Amino acid sequence: MMKRLPLLGGLAVLALSVSLTGCDPDKNKPTDTPGTTTPAKAGETGSTVPATDNKATFAAFNKPRKETGDITLKVITNGNSPFWDSMGEGLKVGVKEAGANPSSGWTYPQKADNNSQKDVFEQTMAANVDGIAVSPVQADAFAAVIDSAIAKGVPVITFDSDSPTSKRLAYIGTINYEAGKRAGEAAVTLFPNGGAFVAFVGNMTADNAKQRFQGFVDATKDHKITMLQAPYEDDKDATGRAHANVADAITKYGNKINGFLGLYSYNGPAIVDEVQKAGLLGKVKIVVFDGEPRTLDNLAKKLVDVAVVQKPFEFGRISARLLMLINRKGLDAALMELKPELEKSGMTVDPEKHIIDTGVQVITPANAPAFLKELKDKGLKST
């Protein structure tokens, strides 16, 4: 992976450390009523389709910004997790393929909240980079931050989690509503006669969290599968609150719970740990997102029933390629140039909506061995 350095004098961090929350611990206490969000349908707020008319912005970036000279790019994640290791590897490949400055790299906020991520974004802007890819912690709250950079002529795209009310130039990643539906469809197969789930997540303010949860709810609502309450939120405290929330749900609901849903990558390992402590392994079903190393191991051990995995390697690789092409050739030309290559690899590019859907895979203990071999062959330890 790229060499990672701490933030110094406005330079973006490239180091990894555990991301902890500094928010009020009572702020995200769960409620007793299942939450609802707006499904990701074309043209609706909450989807990956911009809620505002960005035609003028898109047109402004259709002209090459920097046809020659050095290009430096930065990627800003929404926190720290092994999930991002694969993205970092993809970014390294993408930077090389695109011919960007080798110092291009990635960073993350020490605290997984909007203000901390805003600080990192502004430090990155101060370093005079030529393009930024960001996965917003809070979709709507971060829109103004993105728009400020766009107004200064700096290309900004989103990946993994969108900010559809912003003027971002494109979104790369999973169509999270559809991914949530895939998880819900898998749950229906696991519970043909219905069941009761509890969900866990970092922040429901993030667009990916809202869409995954709503997709799951919509796919299961006509199959007697219910959510016992709104998702527990942990502010991306992977080692503390993520575990405590699962333990609390087990204490609160006992044998009323049939299934556990982990919406963020680290929720899967936390669920398995606490279910194992409670002696419930084999008595409940576990559906998770993403393939952190421990989740992949748990799949191999048949401790996880379903994992909906994304392609973070491609998030990094394509972000570098797209930002470079936007600088050299303009937005529309960049999307059209990438389209044949990406669609040949099974992805979908919509130049009109400015969306690159990298797709997902549904992994179970049955197909896990082949999937794990494929990852190993690519030199990846997570996805």
CATH for the 176-311+364-377 domain, from 3.30.910.20, 3.40.50.2300, 3.90.1170.50, 3.40.50.150: 3.40.50.2300
Homologous superfamily (CATH) for 55-174+312-359:
Response regulator (3.40.50.2300)
- Cβ neighbourhood burial of 353 (10 Å; 0-12, 13-18, 19+): middle
The token duo for 58 is 């898109």
pLDDT, position 253:
98
- Of the candidates 308, 318, 317, 315, which has an alpha carbon nearest to the alpha carbon of residue 371? 308
pLDDT, position 26:
38
Phi first, then psi, for residue 114 (nearest 5°) are: -60, -45
- Of the candidates 228, 220, 380, which has an alpha carbon nearest to the alpha carbon of residue 293? 380
pLDDT tens digits, residue range 69-100? 999 999 999 998 889 999 999 999 999 999 99
For residues 295 and 307, the answer to whether their CB atoms sit within 8 Å is: yes
Percent of the chain with pLDDT over 70: 86
Phi first, then psi, for residue 348 (nearest 5°) are: -125, 130
In degrees to the nearest 10, what's the CA dihedral of 68, 72, 73, 76?
-160
DSSP state of 204: T
Terminal C-alpha separation, the chain: 15
pLDDT tens digits, residue range 136-186? 999 999 999 999 999 999 999 999 999 999 999 999 999 999 999 999 999
Give span(s): CATH 3.40.50.2300, the chain. 55-174+312-359, 176-311+364-377
pLDDT band, residue 283 (cuts 50/70/90): very high
- Of the candidates 51, 55, 35, which has an alpha carbon nearest to the alpha carbon of residue 43? 51
pLDDT tens digits, residue range 318-345? 999 999 999 999 999 999 999 999 999 9
pLDDT above 60 for 282: yes
pLDDT band, residue 13 (cuts 50/70/90): very low
pLDDT, position 300:
94
The DSSP bridge pattern shows strands 348-350 and 355-357 to be antiparallel
